[in-house]
Amino acid sequence: MSAAVLKELSGLIEHRIKPLQIPVEDPEVFVPPPNVIMTPCDPWPRPYYMEDGLRKVHPYHFTYNTYCKERWRGREILDIFATEFRDRPQAYYKDAIECGRVVINGQKVSSIREIVKNGDIISHTLHRHEPPVTAESIGIVHEDNDMIVINKPAGVPVHPAGRYNYNSIVEIMRAERGLGWNPLPCNRLDRLTSGVMFIGKHAKAAEKLTDQIMARTVKKEYVARVIGEFPEGDVICDQPVMQISPKLGLNRARASGKDAKTIFKRLAYYPPNVTANGREPKLEDNRSEKEKIRDSKMEWKAKEGYSIVRCLPLTGRTHQLRVHLQFLGHPISNDPIYCNQRVFGPSLAAGDALSDNDEDIISRLSKMGKSEAAEAMAYHDEMMEEYNKRKAEKMTGELCAICDTPLYSDPGPHELGIYLHARRYACQDGNWAYETPLPVWALPPPGMDGPADTTTETDPMALVDESGGVRMDQTKSNGHRTAEEERTKPLWVMPG
């Protein structure tokens, strides 16, 4: 075979048989997280001062950093701030973006129409003005090596949120016990609610109790003061609850909402204008004809006096007790949302689970606290006299000399909390129970007789069995449902 032929064959073999080629992956490149702005300082000791019965905080600079939420993806930066955050007007956020106080990934944006993407970090640096809270101290119900059980004052949020940071339970306790101390709340109470809270001293203890509460093996009892004469006997409300505005934290009774159930039992009823000798004084009616016609259209006006009611929630929906009491026609008498006829109209949404006026209610509520006081108009205990209307927290028309932020007046006494108190928490198997005395507003008024403590006869926990369900072996004459009534029950039941 000639050399030329061998060379040709060799070329063909090389062409047909190629060496095995193993793909080489590009090395993984570490992508650092986006740049963020850091708060200029974290003042210690905290800048608290006490004035007029209030705990106040000197204004300070602060930076919020947050990752883009799923619902923000693909939206303009100004649209996010204008719709998601309530405490400042849109003009403020527009100026903050254009001046670089609001940045994305540490960089000033080119336009207020900048689109926010998944993974972006939004930073907002501002001169922070915190609202005052009560100067009342945080009561200690029990303390051991694992846990602190506190009596939370009304009007103080648990965690830093919204306009509140240092004026929160977590930060106040940290300021009292040292910068390195890390309080771990195990249960949640609304800002306006007072009562029993559990603070873990270490993660293991906090996790154990939190798991018990989430598993619904902890019984909770609240006390509320509501308008009118609440019925005697056991009142069970299992109207579902739905959140209709995440921005305002507004909830309503809705058949399409989440399952919710509460047992109510009246502790006391106090009629209006009763003197020490038990006689009702005759009061001169100085209302004009126009005012009489107006009042005749307000259904809650016919509900005289107030009741102290024990409340046992079997589920834990946001604002569940406040919504259920409103639905039953006996809202908490100083509730600035659910007992506010400027928001819900003359009926205060009693028995209303079907109306389609959510947008109107949201619009009216959003105006509260801006140009007018966020007042509950259905007060029956003389909390809404002109003095308190003048003292209510609202914009003063003045601006901060440093940042031009609109300034609020101090809150009035009626805005520091509502008549809702978490009185008792008890382990279902009986291993532990913690409770507080009745709050002052639940005690008998001067010159009148009434319970100064809860009684066995008015204990709603007696209706709950070991599994956490409602006992159905009682008769209707006792105000309880029978098994047959439970199967055919309406959404809410009143005895009689």
Is 243 within 8 Å of 317 (Cβ atoms)?
A: no
d(CA 141, CA 120) in angstroms, rounded, equals: 44
Residue 190 amino acid letter: D
Would you state the pLDDT for residue 390?
44
Cβ atoms < 10 Å from Cβ of 365 = 20
Is 120 within 8 Å of 76 (Cβ atoms)?
A: no
Q: Does residue 190 carry a catalytic annotation?
A: yes
Would you state the pLDDT for residue 236?
96
Select which of 87, 144, 190, 358 is catalytic: 190
pLDDT digits (tens, 9 = 90+) for 419-439: 999 999 999 888 999 999 999
Q: How far is CA 61 from CA 38, 45, 90, 101, 311, in A?
A: 10, 15, 20, 11, 42
> pTM for the whole thing?
0.76
Would you state the pLDDT for residue 346?
81
Is 323 within 8 Å of 338 (Cβ atoms)?
A: yes
Furthest-apart CA pair in the chain: how many Å? 136
Is 322 within 8 Å of 337 (Cβ atoms)?
A: yes
Question: Residue length, the chain?
Answer: 496
Q: How far is CA 227 from CA 70, 287, 330, 493, in A?
A: 41, 22, 5, 18
- Measure CA of the first residue to CA of the last residue in the chain; give whole Å: 117
- Closest CA relative to residue 491, chosen from 332, 297, 293, 262: 262
Pairing of strands 406-408, 395-399: antiparallel
Identify the residue whose tokens are 């001062």: 49
Query: Interior CA angle at 134 toward 133 and 139, to 5°?
Result: 120
- Structure-token pair, residue 485: 């009534």
d(CA 379, CA 339) in angstroms, rounded, equals: 8
pLDDT digits (tens, 9 = 90+) for 17-52: 555 566 666 666 666 666 676 666 678 899 999 999
- Closest CA relative to residue 59, chosen from 123, 132, 122, 124: 132
Q: What are phi and psi of 101, to 5 degrees?
A: -80, -20
Name every residue whose Cβ is closer than 8 Å to that of residue 477 and which is 6 or more positions away in sequence: none
Q: What is the pLDDT along the chain (496 residues), one digit of tens a residue?
A: 666 656 665 665 555 555 556 666 666 666 666 667 666 667 889 999 999 999 999 999 988 899 999 999 999 999 999 988 876 789 989 999 999 999 999 999 999 999 999 999 999 998 999 999 999 999 999 999 999 999 999 999 999 988 899 999 999 999 999 988 999 999 989 999 999 999 999 999 999 999 988 888 899 999 999 999 999 999 999 999 999 988 788 999 998 899 999 999 999 999 986 554 444 454 455 556 665 555 555 565 667 899 999 999 999 899 999 999 999 999 999 998 899 888 888 888 888 888 888 888 888 887 765 444 434 444 333 333 333 444 456 778 898 998 888 888 898 776 789 999 999 999 988 899 999 999 999 999 988 889 988 767 667 666 666 555 655 444 333 333 333 343 344 334 433 3
What's the per-residue H, E or C state across the chain?
CCHHHHHHHHHHHHHHCCCCCCCCCCCCCCCCCCCCCCCCCCCCCCCEEEECCEEEECCEEEEEEEECCHHHCCCEHHHHHHHHCCCCCHHHHHHHHHHCCEEECCEECCCCCCECCCCCEEEEEEEECCCCEECCCCEEEEECCCEEEEEECCCCCCCCECCECCCCHHHHHHHHHCCCCCCEECCCCCCCCEEEEEEECCHHHHHHHHHHHHCCCEEEEEEEEEECCCCCCEEEECCCEEEEECCCCEEEECCCCECCCEEEEEEEEECCCCCCCCCCCCCCCCCCHHHHHHHHCCHHHHCCCEEEEEEEECCCCCCHHHHHHHHCCCCECCCCCCCCHHHHCCCCCCCCCCCCCHHHHHHHHHHECCCECCCCCCCCCCCCCHHHHHHCCCEEEEECCCCCCEEECCCCHHHCCCCEEEEEEEECCCCCEEECCCCHHHCCCCCCCCCCCCCHHHCHHHHECCCCCECCECCHHHCCCEHHHHHCCCCEECCC
Is 77 within 8 Å of 90 (Cβ atoms)?
A: no
